Amino acid sequence: MTMRISKSKFCAGVQCPKRLYLQVHSPELAEQPDAAAEAIIEQGHEVGMLARQLFPGGVEVCERSLDQAIRATRELVADPEIPAIFEGVFEHGGVLVKIDVLHRRRDGRFRLVEVKSSTDVKEQHLHDVGIQYRVVSRSGLDVGSASLAHVNRNYVFDGQNINLRRFFRIRNLTRRVQRLEPKLTFQLRSEFAVLRMPNAPEIAPGRHCTDPVTCEFFDHCNPARPKDHIGYLPRLHASAIEKLEGMGVESIRDIPDDFELSDIQRRACTSVQNGEPWFDRGGLKAALAGLKYPIFFMDFETVNPAIPRFAGMRPYDHLPFQWSVHVVRRLGAEPEHRDFLTTEAGDPRRKFIASLCEVVRDRGSIVVFNAPFESQRLSDLAAWLPDFAVRIERIQSRLWDLLLVVRNHVYHPAFAGSYSLKTVLPALVPEMTYSGLEVANGRDAGLAWESVVRGALEHTERERIRRALLSYCRQDTLALVSVLEKVRSPGITASQR
């Protein structure tokens, strides 16, 4: 039987031959894309549809059967009245490619255009465009150039209509993909040889499991590691892991005292070896001394669409749509809660910052988890809404980063090398959890909000999602309250310095 591989499978084989083999022979082992992955795919589709407007009069190849699509593409190519072809299908040497845009130039030759929602040309794009250029050229088409159209991160939306010429950058990759031709020939031979193997090739897990994308067979090739595995030390470089494995060390408990580690890694190592949390009491005392009442615990939720929606926004700018604040007025007082969430399709930025300024006022510390994120969102708002700039600057000057304090002065064996709030909270405050929440992380929050403002949902469904969003963001700031109480509590019995 004649073997065929698609462009996407060819690129999968470039990343890892085992990934290609499993895609073809054992697709049932793949992890199904979650809602976040599907949203990324949909966003790429939206960018692709927008790019078509650069080529008015273009015709899409819509046939479902591959053979029919190939014939329909040939007919469109042969018609000089067709200025551009979308989703044209070609085959050569067992490789099938679908071309985003084939643009008929004035000289009668064609320009191949691949559309990406990324903001620059990446190494993997060369193989993507290169295999298309190879197949189309060898199918008898006179291809004058091969290009990649990607999003221009510096484009600023005026709030009216997307300026396509500025939103997209079209990069000519012809010479680069032509130089890649010998490597493509070798790569194709290797991939077809792999596919003829009786079993998947033995390839050890490594960086290729997540670069350039996380492989859908990651869990299949990377079984769960013991909780004391050396890979769970914070920011441990691959070379250090290789060195330890070369010494026969796979457990953190077996790392020699004289093995070179950073301060953060050594304290994590000691914590795991002792089986107890580690607290730097001196450092914590100094850090906590900077807190001033009333203390506000603040968290933002945002989305960052590729196609900007409101005036002043650039592609992938974060659009804030929700905040939660718990405020503790004085030592020992119960936290009070305030929040903001817009479920309307209009621009939320002014209401977002106006309501926040009203709550946090002009005195007291503002506790956040990863201050650079909130601070940058505030800077964005100041640029968009300069009449709030002074008040925003004052808010930024009061930010107090709980993540930085935990990272520098606390470690718990259950952190497993991670300092994310979703890891820190259950380790330090096991009675609190995100389980049972319909929205349980920032990505889900963004998707839920998008479904409300962009979809035609019934009132009851909109209300259900609204309550889920409020519950999630409230949990985030309540988590900040609980974590801070834990690290400042004098009654903790643990390893202390």
Report whether the peptide linkage leading into residue 212 is cis, meaning its omega lies within 30 degrees of zero.
Answer: yes
Q: What Rg do the C-alpha atoms of the chain give, in angstroms?
A: 27
Under 8 Å CB-to-CB from 60, ≥6 apart: which residues?
Answer: 85, 86, 87
Provide the 8-state DSSP code for 292. -
Q: Beta strand 110-115 with 366-368: parallel, antiparallel or unpaired?
A: unpaired
Task: For residue 294, give both structure tokens.
Answer: 């009333």
Task: For residue 342, give both structure tokens.
Answer: 């817009």
Tens-digit pLDDT string for the chain (497 aa)? 578 999 999 999 999 999 999 999 999 999 999 988 999 999 999 999 999 999 999 999 998 899 999 999 999 999 999 999 999 999 999 999 999 999 999 999 999 999 999 999 999 999 999 999 999 999 999 999 999 999 999 999 999 999 999 999 999 999 999 999 999 999 999 999 999 999 999 999 999 999 999 999 999 999 999 999 999 999 999 899 999 999 999 999 999 999 999 999 999 999 999 999 999 999 999 999 999 999 999 999 999 999 999 999 999 999 999 999 999 999 999 999 999 999 988 999 999 999 999 999 999 999 999 999 999 999 999 999 999 999 999 999 999 999 999 999 999 999 999 999 999 999 999 999 888 899 999 999 999 999 999 877 899 999 999 999 999 999 999 999 999 999 988 544 333 33
Q: 284-496 adopts what CATH topology?
A: Nucleotidyltransferase; domain 5 (3.30.420)
3-state secondary structure of 104: strand
Cα–Cα separations (whole angstroms), residue 416 to 118, 132, 231, 439, 484: 32, 43, 9, 24, 20
Annotate 402-439 with b (16+ C-beta within 10 A) or e (fewer).
bbbbbbbbbbbbbbbbebebeebbbbbbeeeebeeeeb
**Phi, psi angle pair for 273, to nearest 5°:** -65, -35
- Does the domain at 5-195 match CATH 3.40.50.970? Answer given as no
> Looking up tokens 């300092």, which residue turns up?
419
* Distance from C-alpha of 469 to C-alpha of 467, rounded to nearest angstrom: 5
Domain spans, the chain? 5-195, 284-496
Task: For residue 48, give both structure tokens.
Answer: 């692709």
Asked whether the beta carbons of 171 and 148 are under 8 A apart, the reply is yes
Element (H, E) at 112: strand 110-115
Model pLDDT, residue 63: 87
Is 5-195's fold the same as 284-496's?
no
* Distance from C-alpha of 216 to C-alpha of 9, rounded to nearest angstrom: 12
* Distance from C-alpha of 260 to C-alpha of 270, rounded to nearest angstrom: 13
**pTM, to two decimals:** 0.93
* Distance from C-alpha of 331 to C-alpha of 294, rounded to nearest angstrom: 9
Asked whether the beta carbons of 224 and 43 are under 8 A apart, the reply is no
Provide the 8-state DSSP code for 151. E
- Could you count the other beta carbons within 10 Å of the beta carbon of residue 283? 14
* Distance from C-alpha of 391 to C-alpha of 408, rounded to nearest angstrom: 30
